[in-house]
Amino acid sequence: MSRPIVATINQQALKNNLSIVRQMISSARIWAVVKANAYGHGIKRIWKSLCQADGFALLSIHEALLLRDSGWQKPILLLEGFFHPNDITILAQYNLTTVVHSQWQIQALAKAKLLAPLDIYLKMNCGMNRLGFQPDDIHSVWQQLKEIKNVGTLTLMAHFANAEYTTGVTKPMQKIYQVLRKLNCQMSLANSAAILWHPQTHCNWVRPGIILYGSCPKRDGNQSIMSNNGFEPVMTLNSEIIAIQEIAFGSTVGYNNSYRANCKQRIGIVACGYADGYPRHAPSGTPVKILEHITKTIGTVSMDMMAIDLTMCPQAYIGSKVELWGKNVKIDDVASASQTVGYELMCALSPRVPVQLK
Beta-bridged to residue 243, according to DSSP, are: 269
Q: Is 130 annotated as a binding residue?
A: yes
Distance CA 29, CA 19 (A): 12
CA atoms of 332 and 218, how far apart (whole Å):
9
> What distance in Å separates the CA atoms of residue 298 and residue 10, rounded to the nearest whole number?
29
SS3 26: coil
Q: Is 260 among the annotated ligand-binding positions?
A: no
In whole angstroms, how large is the CA radius of gyration of the chain? 23
Give ∠ CA 221-201-166 in degrees, rounded to 5: 30
Residue 7: alpha-carbon gap to chain centroid: 16
Is 317 one of the catalytic residues?
A: no
- Single out the catalytic residue among 35, 123, 218, 289: 35
> 240 and 2 in contact (C-beta within 8 Å)?
no
Sign of CA dihedral 195, 232, 290, 343: negative
Measured CA to CA, the distance from residue 332 to residue 217 in angstroms comes to 9
3-state secondary structure (DSSP) of residue 166: coil
Strands 235-247, 151-158: parallel, antiparallel or unpaired by DSSP? unpaired
Q: d(Cα 72, Cα 54) in Å, to the nearest integer?
A: 11
Residue 327 known to be catalytic: no
Give the residue from 53, 22, 28 showing the smallest Cα distance to 38.
53
| DSSP string computed for 175-193 | HHHHHHTT---EEE---HH
Question: Which of 74, 149, 177, 255 does the annotation list as catalytic?
Answer: 255
Burial class of 196 by CB neighbour count within 10 A (0 to 12, 13 to 18, 19+): buried
Half-sphere exposure of 141 (CA within 13 A, CB side): 26
Contact 241, 348 (CB under 8 A): no
Catalogue the active-site residues: 35, 255
Residue set of the binding site for substrate = 130, 303
